[in-house]
Chains A and B, each alone.
Chain A
Amino acid sequence: EADIYQTPRYLVIGTGKKITLECSQTMGHDKMYWYQQDPGMELHLIHYSYGVNSTEKGDLSSESTVSRIRTEHFPLTLESARPSHTSQYLCASSVGYGQPQHFGDGTRLSIL
């Protein structure tokens, strides 16, 4: 069963739109992550959070922003979508240092 939920699962939208990808977890994990995944490539970390009011940028330069107002919720926002944002976005959470990450089923985003 999924303890971490991502919505929408699929989104096709035009260039210039503002998009918010939702991620919620019910496990009470402090750490949450957003990854971008493209075929044949390693997962790229774009944002992470170590707890409420904590957000950091990852390795991959991204035009997105995140917020962490509640432990269980970690939404990702694109202010103005571009075709280069077309990808799969995976959200994950972890209980702490050295512990495995739990993943949602992802949002597949296509920008026309």
Chain B
Amino acid sequence: AQSVTQPDIHITVSEGASLELRCNYSYGATPYLFWYVQSPGQGLQLLLKYFSGDTLVQGIKGFEAEFKRSQSSFNLRKPSVHWSDAAEYFCAVGDNDMRFGAGTRLTVKP
């Protein structure tokens, strides 16, 4: 069965610092992987996706993620965080149906 684990419930970083949000998945085949962001009072917005090919994928808002099959991971990164990046981030895996992690809440300190 497919599943997603986001080990960090809450992360705080200073504005301008780098960011890495962790995601581990369990899936029986080559996974379709996604990162979404959710701001308060809104739905989920797609940041990036991985289907195949280059294991480093670029997304919107300066985010990138790296697929590591050997570690069953798909961590999200950003070199320099902006205050507007404060939000909830969800990792997801799936094909016909999608499994979401429980989310990581990002707080950005001035």
List the interface of chain A (C-beta within 8 A of B): 4, 6, 40-43, 45, 48, 90, 92, 97-98, 100-106
Q: What's the dominant secondary structure at chain A's contact region? A: loop
Q: Which residue of B lies closest to A108 (CB)?
A: B41
Q: How far is the CA of A60 from the CA of B100 in the complex (A)?
A: 13
Q: Which residue of B lies closest to A50 (CB)?
A: B96
Interface residues of B in 68-110 (CB under 8 A from A): 90, 94-103
| Contact partners of B94 in chain A: CB under 8 A | 98
Q: Which residue of A lies closest to B49 (CB)?
A: A100
List the interface of chain B (C-beta within 8 A of A): 4, 9, 32, 34, 36, 41-46, 49, 51, 90, 94-103
Closest 10 CB pairs of A and B: A103-B43, A43-B100, A98-B32, A103-B44, A42-B102, A105-B43, A42-B100, A100-B46, A98-B95, A104-B43
Q: Which residue of B lies closest to A98 (CB)?
A: B32
Q: How far is the CA of A98 from the CA of B92 in the complex (A)?
A: 11
Minimum CB–CB distance from A69 to chain B (whole Å) comes to 22
Q: How far is the CA of A98 from the CA of B34 in the complex (A)?
A: 10
| Contact partners of A6 in chain B: CB under 8 A | 43
Q: Which residue of B lies closest to A4 (CB)?
A: B43
Q: How far is the CA of A43 from the CA of B89 in the complex (A)?
A: 12
A100, B34: Cβ atoms under 8 Å?
yes
A40, B103: Cβ atoms under 8 Å?
yes
Q: How far is the CA of A40 from the CA of B46 in the complex (A)?
A: 19
Q: Which residue of A lies closest to B10 (CB)?
A: A40
A42, B99: Cβ atoms under 8 Å?
yes
A105, B4: Cβ atoms under 8 Å?
no
| Contact partners of B51 in chain A: CB under 8 A | 98
Extra pairs beyond A40-B9, A45-B97, A97-B95 (18, CB < 8 Å): A4-B43, A6-B43, A42-B4, A42-B102, A43-B90, A90-B44, A92-B44, A98-B32, A98-B95, A100-B34, A100-B46, A100-B49, A101-B44, A102-B46, A103-B44, A105-B42, A106-B42, A106-B43
